[in-house]
Amino acid sequence: MRRLATVTIPAPDLRPDAFLRHASGEARGFWARGHHWVAHRGVAVELRAPDGDAGDRFDLVANQAREISMAPVLPAGAARAPRIRFYGGFSFRADHKPEGVWESFPSSLFHVPLFELEGDASGDAWLTARAIVEKGEEEDVFVRLRHRAEALRAELASMAETSPPRRAQVIGRRIDTDRRNWEGAVDKCLAAVRAGRVAKVVLARIRDVDLDDAVDVVDVVAHLWEANRGSHGFMFEPEPGAALVGAAPETVATLRNGVFHATAVAGSIRRGASLREQAELAATLLASEKDRVEQRIALDDMVSRLETVSRQIRTDPQPHVLTLARIQHLETEIRASVPGDVGVLDLLRLLHPTPAVCGLPRDAAMEVLAEEEPFERGWYAGPVGWFDAEENGIFAPALRTGVSVGGSWRLFAGAGIVEGSVPALEWGETAIKFEPMLGALEESGVVLEQSDEAAGLSGAIGSFKHE
């Protein structure tokens, strides 16, 4: 029987950015919420559902995980037994085809890493090394793994003592979705709302950033995380040079020992330049009937789906304002108790795609998006995160996100279209939602030049040589 041998050592002197830069050329990832973070590199185990498979990809991935003996083999006297986590995610659509900018991202993909560094604001950090072993090989492998972990720690600690070189500026050209065409698509979505076909559609647009040289994706995610600590910060690079980066403000599903938590987020307004303006705008958002309806749509659908597995569901009586670095949203907390045989992937199957990233009714909204979005969403708005052998885990939608291929970036932003939506205002909302990624790119050395928006959507799609 093949099992995972695991050795963990304390590593309080290590930081995730040095750990990830050292892993350049390997599969790697980063996941953070607040002051807790996990960075990983290499692949010990990979899970994926076959692309185009008629089966349930959430169930297929869960079954693959169950077939692997995930109880870690630990050295005698080990003081810490870390959870073995599968890191990755799913595409927005089940019928996603990994091509173009999404060539390295199949409809589902998860990694158990060879090395994992985990820490928090306390300064504690732990370095874990893993290897697949056959029964009877454990003792020898523990010596090798400890040596690998200690050698890596020493090398990374020496790197941290020296300042990284100052990065040269990189010129980036920004190419937007054509505004007239996009606002015309909003009008068509509104027509679908008025016809009773849908109650809401989340219409996205893209912004391509072509660079004359590559920027360090680790710099990008570091700046994004630092500026958006209230969000889920993430990076997933399954192959060198192909990375998904983002800062999602909401939670699709968190499950720990039968306790479920999620957030229903919808309705948006800018943050404001001062505390007074922020408070005034928050009050405007709370008083907006259009935004409260949009948020209620998201909440009610999530609750109704959860009711198929739990009757012990608790929600906030009223939404509150979630204030982020550049934008404010209406948010409602959802908690529930679920049976022991329900795992986090089961909950994702129920909830994805939520009305906050797709619309309602789900199938009709998906049809409208297929008609009005002339690009592939890929993993944009799909659930990303991790789950463990006990089927606990945490997933967020891939929002405020971009995908990097060959040094260039494609950014995504969407707006919920409901009765009362104004196309020009929805365009402005998506512009605000681009700002976290644009800000992270600029902090990483990118100097943006505005390209001619008249190039339109065809120019945006054509800007990637992979398509």
pTM above 0.85, yes or no: yes
391-405 mean pLDDT: 95
Is the pLDDT confidence value at 55 over 70? no
pLDDT at residue 166 is higher than 90: no
- Model confidence pLDDT, tens digit, residues 337-377: 999 999 999 999 999 999 989 999 999 999 999 999 999 99
Average pLDDT of the chain, as a whole number = 87
The alpha carbon dihedral of 93, 319, 263, 349 has a sign of negative
Pairing assessment for the beta strands 170-176 and 446-450 based on DSSP bridges? parallel
At 456, is the pLDDT very low, low, confident or very high (cuts 50, 70, 90)?
very low
Cβ-based neighbours of 274, under 8 Å, separated by 6 or more: none
What domains are defined for the chain? 2-160 (no CATH), 170-462 (3.60.120.10)
Res 174: pLDDT: 84
Quick check: helix, strand or coil at residue 290?
A: helix
**143: pLDDT confidence band, cut at 50, 70 and 90?**
confident
> What integer pLDDT is reported at residue 363 of this predicted model?
95
pLDDT digits (tens, 9 = 90+) for 81-116: 567 899 999 999 999 989 999 999 999 999 999 999
Tell me how far apart the alpha carbons of residues 456 and 176 are, in angstroms, rounded to a whole number: 6
Residues classed as catalytic: 200, 250
Residue 465 has pLDDT above 50, yes or no: no
Can you read off the two tokens belonging to residue 245?
């980066």
Tens-digit pLDDT profile for residues 2-38: 678 888 999 998 999 999 999 989 999 999 998 889 9
As a whole number of angstroms, the distance between CA 434 and CA 450 comes to 14
Model pLDDT, residue 68: 72
Task: Identify which of 147, 154, 116 has the alpha carbon closest to the alpha carbon of residue 16.
Answer: 116
Rounded average pLDDT over 34-46: 93
Q: What percentage of the chain has pLDDT greater than the value 70? A: 89
